[in-house]
Amino acid sequence: MAEFRTDPLRGFTVLINGARGERPSEFQVSVQSDPSLVCPFCRGHEHMTPPSIYEERDSAGWTLRLVPNRFPALSRNAKSLVESSTLGEATPAIGEHEVLIETSTHDARAHDLSKTQWVSIMRIWQMRLKHHYAQDSNCYVHIFRNEGYRGGATLSHPHEQIAVLPFVPDQIARREHLLRAYRDREGKCLHCVWLAEESANGARVIRKSERAISMTQFAPRFPYEWVIHPADHTPFHELPQVRIEEVAHHLASGLKAVSRITRHPDSNVVLFAPPPEWGEFPWSLEVLPRVSTQAGFEWGTGIHIVSTLPEEAAALIIKSLPNGCAL
Protein backbone atom coordinates (compact mmCIF):
# COMPACT_ATOMS: atom_id res chain seq x y z
CA MET A 1 0.00 0.00 0.00
CA ALA A 2 1.29 3.46 -0.93
CA GLU A 3 -0.82 6.59 -1.02
CA PHE A 4 -0.67 10.37 -0.77
CA ARG A 5 -2.83 12.04 1.87
CA THR A 6 -3.50 15.76 2.28
CA ASP A 7 -4.34 17.15 5.71
CA PRO A 8 -7.59 19.17 5.46
CA LEU A 9 -6.79 21.44 8.41
CA ARG A 10 -3.04 21.95 7.92
CA GLY A 11 -2.81 21.74 4.15
CA PHE A 12 0.28 19.64 3.59
CA THR A 13 0.58 16.32 1.77
CA VAL A 14 2.34 13.18 3.02
CA LEU A 15 3.19 9.82 1.50
CA ILE A 16 2.19 6.74 3.51
CA ASN A 17 3.97 3.52 2.55
CA GLY A 18 4.09 0.68 5.08
CA ALA A 19 6.82 -1.14 3.17
CA ARG A 20 9.28 1.67 3.89
CA GLY A 21 9.50 0.50 7.49
CA GLU A 22 10.99 -2.82 6.32
CA ARG A 23 14.09 -1.25 4.77
CA PRO A 24 17.44 -2.48 6.15
CA SER A 25 19.63 0.05 7.96
CA GLU A 26 23.33 -0.19 8.72
CA PHE A 27 23.21 2.61 11.27
CA GLN A 28 22.63 2.35 15.01
CA VAL A 29 22.50 5.71 16.79
CA SER A 30 22.64 6.20 20.53
CA VAL A 31 22.73 9.68 22.07
CA GLN A 32 23.60 10.20 25.73
CA SER A 33 23.68 13.42 27.74
CA ASP A 34 26.92 14.41 29.48
CA PRO A 35 26.45 13.68 33.22
CA SER A 36 29.38 15.96 34.12
CA LEU A 37 27.57 19.10 32.95
CA VAL A 38 25.78 21.21 35.55
CA CYS A 39 22.08 21.55 34.72
CA PRO A 40 20.91 25.18 34.85
CA PHE A 41 17.29 24.06 35.33
CA CYS A 42 17.77 22.03 38.52
CA ARG A 43 16.96 23.29 42.01
CA GLY A 44 19.87 25.13 43.56
CA HIS A 45 21.08 26.39 40.17
CA GLU A 46 18.64 29.28 39.86
CA HIS A 47 21.57 31.69 39.44
CA MET A 48 22.24 30.06 36.05
CA THR A 49 18.96 31.38 34.60
CA PRO A 50 17.41 34.87 34.51
CA PRO A 51 15.08 35.65 37.44
CA SER A 52 11.71 33.92 37.45
CA ILE A 53 8.71 35.49 35.79
CA TYR A 54 6.50 33.04 37.67
CA GLU A 55 6.97 30.13 40.07
CA GLU A 56 4.89 27.48 41.79
CA ARG A 57 6.28 26.06 45.02
CA ASP A 58 5.83 23.38 47.65
CA SER A 59 7.54 22.85 51.00
CA ALA A 60 10.74 21.66 49.29
CA GLY A 61 11.04 24.60 46.90
CA TRP A 62 9.83 25.50 43.43
CA THR A 63 7.98 22.87 41.42
CA LEU A 64 7.66 24.86 38.20
CA ARG A 65 9.48 27.97 36.92
CA LEU A 66 8.88 30.36 34.05
CA VAL A 67 11.98 32.36 33.10
CA PRO A 68 13.20 34.48 30.18
CA ASN A 69 15.32 32.44 27.77
CA ARG A 70 18.99 33.10 28.47
CA PHE A 71 19.76 32.58 24.78
CA PRO A 72 16.67 34.03 23.08
CA ALA A 73 15.90 33.57 19.40
CA LEU A 74 13.85 36.77 19.58
CA SER A 75 14.24 39.86 21.76
CA ARG A 76 12.83 43.36 22.13
CA ASN A 77 16.20 44.95 21.26
CA ALA A 78 17.02 42.79 18.22
CA LYS A 79 18.81 44.46 15.30
CA SER A 80 19.30 43.42 11.68
CA LEU A 81 22.81 42.75 10.40
CA VAL A 82 21.98 43.75 6.83
CA GLU A 83 19.54 46.09 5.12
CA SER A 84 16.69 44.86 2.96
CA SER A 85 17.39 44.72 -0.76
CA THR A 86 14.98 45.09 -3.68
CA LEU A 87 13.94 41.43 -3.36
CA GLY A 88 15.35 40.22 -0.07
CA GLU A 89 13.78 41.49 3.14
CA ALA A 90 15.71 41.68 6.42
CA THR A 91 13.95 42.83 9.58
CA PRO A 92 14.95 42.64 13.25
CA ALA A 93 13.76 39.50 15.08
CA ILE A 94 11.66 41.49 17.54
CA GLY A 95 9.78 39.40 20.04
CA GLU A 96 10.10 37.52 23.30
CA HIS A 97 11.37 34.07 24.22
CA GLU A 98 10.62 32.30 27.50
CA VAL A 99 11.40 28.93 29.05
CA LEU A 100 8.95 26.98 31.18
CA ILE A 101 10.78 24.51 33.43
CA GLU A 102 8.08 21.91 33.98
CA THR A 103 9.40 20.17 37.08
CA SER A 104 12.34 20.06 39.44
CA THR A 105 12.87 16.39 38.56
CA HIS A 106 15.86 16.39 36.22
CA ASP A 107 15.34 13.10 34.39
CA ALA A 108 11.54 13.17 33.92
CA ARG A 109 10.17 12.80 30.41
CA ALA A 110 6.88 13.92 28.91
CA HIS A 111 5.19 10.57 29.60
CA ASP A 112 6.29 10.75 33.26
CA LEU A 113 4.35 13.94 33.95
CA SER A 114 1.02 13.41 35.69
CA LYS A 115 -2.33 14.82 34.70
CA THR A 116 -2.03 17.22 37.65
CA GLN A 117 1.33 18.47 36.41
CA TRP A 118 -0.04 19.00 32.91
CA VAL A 119 -2.94 20.99 34.38
CA SER A 120 -0.44 23.34 36.07
CA ILE A 121 1.54 23.64 32.85
CA MET A 122 -1.56 24.42 30.78
CA ARG A 123 -2.62 27.11 33.23
CA ILE A 124 0.73 28.78 32.52
CA TRP A 125 0.04 28.48 28.79
CA GLN A 126 -3.23 30.30 29.35
CA MET A 127 -1.58 33.01 31.43
CA ARG A 128 1.13 33.70 28.84
CA LEU A 129 -1.28 33.60 25.89
CA LYS A 130 -3.41 36.26 27.58
CA HIS A 131 -0.36 38.35 28.47
CA HIS A 132 1.38 38.25 25.11
CA TYR A 133 -1.67 38.56 22.87
CA ALA A 134 -2.69 41.68 24.84
CA GLN A 135 0.30 43.49 23.31
CA ASP A 136 -0.35 44.93 19.86
CA SER A 137 3.14 44.17 18.51
CA ASN A 138 2.75 40.43 19.12
CA CYS A 139 1.16 38.58 16.20
CA TYR A 140 1.66 34.93 17.10
CA VAL A 141 2.48 33.10 20.34
CA HIS A 142 4.13 29.74 19.70
CA ILE A 143 4.23 27.26 22.61
CA PHE A 144 6.25 24.12 22.05
CA ARG A 145 8.11 21.36 23.82
CA ASN A 146 11.27 19.67 22.51
CA GLU A 147 12.43 16.43 24.11
CA GLY A 148 15.58 14.53 23.28
CA TYR A 149 18.18 14.93 20.57
CA ARG A 150 15.82 14.14 17.71
CA GLY A 151 13.24 16.46 19.20
CA GLY A 152 15.69 19.36 19.04
CA ALA A 153 16.36 19.75 22.76
CA THR A 154 19.80 20.86 23.97
CA LEU A 155 19.11 20.16 27.65
CA SER A 156 17.54 16.99 29.02
CA HIS A 157 15.79 18.62 31.99
CA PRO A 158 12.07 18.77 31.02
CA HIS A 159 11.16 22.20 29.75
CA GLU A 160 9.12 24.04 27.14
CA GLN A 161 9.52 27.26 25.23
CA ILE A 162 7.22 30.18 24.48
CA ALA A 163 8.23 32.23 21.43
CA VAL A 164 6.42 35.47 20.62
CA LEU A 165 6.64 36.47 16.95
CA PRO A 166 5.95 39.82 15.25
CA PHE A 167 4.15 38.12 12.35
CA VAL A 168 2.07 35.00 11.66
CA PRO A 169 4.28 32.28 10.10
CA ASP A 170 3.25 30.95 6.69
CA GLN A 171 2.48 27.48 8.04
CA ILE A 172 0.08 28.96 10.58
CA ALA A 173 -1.47 31.41 8.10
CA ARG A 174 -2.22 28.47 5.80
CA ARG A 175 -4.57 27.07 8.45
CA GLU A 176 -6.51 30.32 8.57
CA HIS A 177 -6.74 30.39 4.79
CA LEU A 178 -8.11 26.83 4.64
CA LEU A 179 -10.72 27.51 7.32
CA ARG A 180 -11.85 30.81 5.82
CA ALA A 181 -11.93 29.45 2.26
CA TYR A 182 -14.09 26.50 3.31
CA ARG A 183 -16.47 28.74 5.26
CA ASP A 184 -16.78 31.12 2.30
CA ARG A 185 -17.34 28.23 -0.11
CA GLU A 186 -19.55 25.91 1.95
CA GLY A 187 -20.95 28.15 4.65
CA LYS A 188 -19.74 25.70 7.29
CA CYS A 189 -16.84 25.31 9.72
CA LEU A 190 -14.15 23.04 8.28
CA HIS A 191 -12.96 22.07 11.77
CA CYS A 192 -16.45 21.02 12.90
CA VAL A 193 -17.20 19.13 9.68
CA TRP A 194 -13.87 17.30 9.86
CA LEU A 195 -14.32 16.29 13.50
CA ALA A 196 -17.82 15.02 12.74
CA GLU A 197 -16.46 12.90 9.89
CA GLU A 198 -13.58 11.56 11.99
CA SER A 199 -15.90 10.74 14.89
CA ALA A 200 -18.29 8.91 12.59
CA ASN A 201 -15.46 7.02 10.89
CA GLY A 202 -13.75 6.18 14.18
CA ALA A 203 -10.69 4.56 12.60
CA ARG A 204 -8.27 7.18 13.94
CA VAL A 205 -10.06 8.17 17.17
CA ILE A 206 -8.03 7.43 20.30
CA ARG A 207 -10.21 8.92 23.00
CA LYS A 208 -13.39 10.99 22.97
CA SER A 209 -14.76 12.96 25.91
CA GLU A 210 -17.45 15.60 26.34
CA ARG A 211 -15.46 18.54 24.98
CA ALA A 212 -12.31 17.06 23.42
CA ILE A 213 -11.22 14.34 21.05
CA SER A 214 -7.77 12.86 20.49
CA MET A 215 -6.90 11.06 17.27
CA THR A 216 -4.00 10.08 15.10
CA GLN A 217 -3.42 12.55 12.30
CA PHE A 218 -5.04 11.67 8.97
CA ALA A 219 -1.87 12.85 7.21
CA PRO A 220 0.94 12.45 9.77
CA ARG A 221 4.52 13.61 9.31
CA PHE A 222 5.76 10.94 11.73
CA PRO A 223 4.50 7.51 12.75
CA TYR A 224 2.12 7.73 15.74
CA GLU A 225 1.67 11.48 15.33
CA TRP A 226 -1.54 12.46 17.10
CA VAL A 227 -3.57 15.51 18.03
CA ILE A 228 -6.11 16.77 20.54
CA HIS A 229 -8.97 18.87 19.14
CA PRO A 230 -11.66 20.77 21.06
CA ALA A 231 -15.29 20.02 20.37
CA ASP A 232 -16.12 23.73 20.11
CA HIS A 233 -14.49 27.09 19.36
CA THR A 234 -13.63 28.30 22.87
CA PRO A 235 -10.10 29.84 22.74
CA PHE A 236 -7.54 27.88 24.68
CA HIS A 237 -6.78 30.75 27.06
CA GLU A 238 -10.48 30.93 28.00
CA LEU A 239 -10.97 27.25 28.84
CA PRO A 240 -12.31 26.77 32.39
CA GLN A 241 -10.53 24.54 34.89
CA VAL A 242 -12.73 21.51 34.18
CA ARG A 243 -11.85 21.63 30.49
CA ILE A 244 -8.14 22.10 31.16
CA GLU A 245 -8.32 18.96 33.27
CA GLU A 246 -10.07 17.19 30.39
CA VAL A 247 -7.33 18.17 27.90
CA ALA A 248 -4.62 17.23 30.41
CA HIS A 249 -6.19 13.78 30.77
CA HIS A 250 -6.07 13.28 27.00
CA LEU A 251 -2.45 14.43 26.81
CA ALA A 252 -1.11 12.50 29.82
CA SER A 253 -2.78 9.23 28.82
CA GLY A 254 -1.81 9.54 25.15
CA LEU A 255 1.83 10.28 25.94
CA LYS A 256 2.05 7.25 28.21
CA ALA A 257 0.46 4.99 25.59
CA VAL A 258 2.72 6.09 22.73
CA SER A 259 5.77 5.82 24.98
CA ARG A 260 4.91 2.17 25.72
CA ILE A 261 4.54 1.35 22.02
CA THR A 262 7.59 3.19 20.69
CA ARG A 263 9.99 2.70 23.64
CA HIS A 264 10.14 6.27 24.95
CA PRO A 265 10.88 8.27 21.80
CA ASP A 266 12.14 11.81 21.54
CA SER A 267 9.21 14.07 20.73
CA ASN A 268 7.71 17.48 20.17
CA VAL A 269 4.49 18.85 21.62
CA VAL A 270 3.08 21.93 19.87
CA LEU A 271 0.12 24.09 20.83
CA PHE A 272 -1.64 25.88 17.98
CA ALA A 273 -3.44 28.80 19.64
CA PRO A 274 -4.74 31.27 17.02
CA PRO A 275 -4.45 35.03 17.54
CA PRO A 276 -7.62 36.59 19.03
CA GLU A 277 -8.27 38.67 15.91
CA TRP A 278 -8.90 35.45 13.96
CA GLY A 279 -12.17 35.12 15.84
CA GLU A 280 -13.46 31.69 16.77
CA PHE A 281 -10.77 29.62 15.09
CA PRO A 282 -10.21 26.44 17.15
CA TRP A 283 -6.95 25.53 18.84
CA SER A 284 -5.21 22.15 18.61
CA LEU A 285 -2.51 20.35 20.57
CA GLU A 286 -0.21 18.21 18.42
CA VAL A 287 2.21 15.48 19.53
CA LEU A 288 5.01 14.37 17.21
CA PRO A 289 6.94 11.24 18.32
CA ARG A 290 10.29 11.53 16.53
CA VAL A 291 10.60 7.87 15.61
CA SER A 292 11.78 8.55 12.06
CA THR A 293 14.15 10.95 10.35
CA GLN A 294 13.80 13.31 7.42
CA ALA A 295 16.11 13.03 4.43
CA GLY A 296 16.52 14.46 0.95
CA PHE A 297 13.04 13.50 -0.22
CA GLU A 298 11.37 15.32 2.67
CA TRP A 299 13.58 18.41 2.54
CA GLY A 300 13.42 18.65 -1.24
CA THR A 301 9.68 18.07 -1.73
CA GLY A 302 8.16 19.03 1.61
CA ILE A 303 6.38 15.65 1.56
CA HIS A 304 7.04 13.41 4.56
CA ILE A 305 7.18 9.65 4.04
CA VAL A 306 5.51 7.72 6.87
CA SER A 307 5.75 3.95 7.30
CA THR A 308 2.92 3.39 9.81
CA LEU A 309 -0.74 3.72 8.90
CA PRO A 310 -2.53 6.19 11.22
CA GLU A 311 -5.38 3.69 11.56
CA GLU A 312 -2.99 0.99 12.80
CA ALA A 313 -1.30 3.48 15.10
CA ALA A 314 -4.63 4.47 16.66
CA ALA A 315 -5.54 0.85 17.38
CA LEU A 316 -2.19 0.23 19.09
CA ILE A 317 -2.42 3.44 21.13
CA ILE A 318 -5.91 2.54 22.35
CA LYS A 319 -4.67 -0.84 23.55
CA SER A 320 -1.85 0.86 25.47
CA LEU A 321 -3.89 3.60 27.15
CA PRO A 322 -3.44 3.61 30.95
CA ASN A 323 -6.38 3.40 33.29
CA GLY A 324 -7.40 6.50 35.23
CA CYS A 325 -5.40 5.70 38.37
CA ALA A 326 -2.18 5.63 36.37
CA LEU A 327 -2.44 9.33 35.55
Read off the CATH number of the domain in which 150 is found: 3.30.428.10
Boundaries of domain holding 249: 2-17+40-74+92-326
Give the pLDDT band (50/70/90) at residue 327.
Answer: low
Percentage of the chain with pLDDT > 70?
94
Contacts 24+ apart (CB under 8 A), 283-287: 283/230, 283/235, 283/236, 284/9, 284/227, 284/228, 284/229, 284/230, 285/227, 285/228, 285/247, 285/251, 286/217, 286/225, 286/226, 286/227, 286/228, 287/225, 287/226, 287/227, 287/251, 287/254, 287/255, 287/258
Question: Does the residue 235 lie in any domain?
Answer: yes
Question: Does the residue 85 lie in any domain?
Answer: no
Q: What is the pLDDT of residue 154?
A: 84
Question: Does the residue 34 lie in any domain?
Answer: no
What is the arithmetic mean of pLDDT over 87-112? 93
- The CA distance from 322 to 85, in Å, is 56
What is the arithmetic mean of pLDDT over 87-113? 93
Most confident of 90-99, 121-130, 317-326: 121-130
Ranking 23-27, 80-84, 168-172, 225-229 by mean pLDDT, the lowest is 23-27
Question: Does the residue 309 lie in any domain?
Answer: yes
Question: Does the residue 259 lie in any domain?
Answer: yes
Q: Which residue has the higher pLDDT, 105 or 154?
A: 105
Question: Does the residue 22 lie in any domain?
Answer: no
Q: Is the pLDDT of residue 36 over 80?
A: no
Q: Is the pLDDT of residue 166 over 50?
A: yes
Q: Is the pLDDT of residue 94 over 90?
A: yes
Q: What is the pLDDT of residue 19?
A: 67
Question: Does the residue 81 lie in any domain?
Answer: no
- Structurally, how many domains does the chain consist of? 1
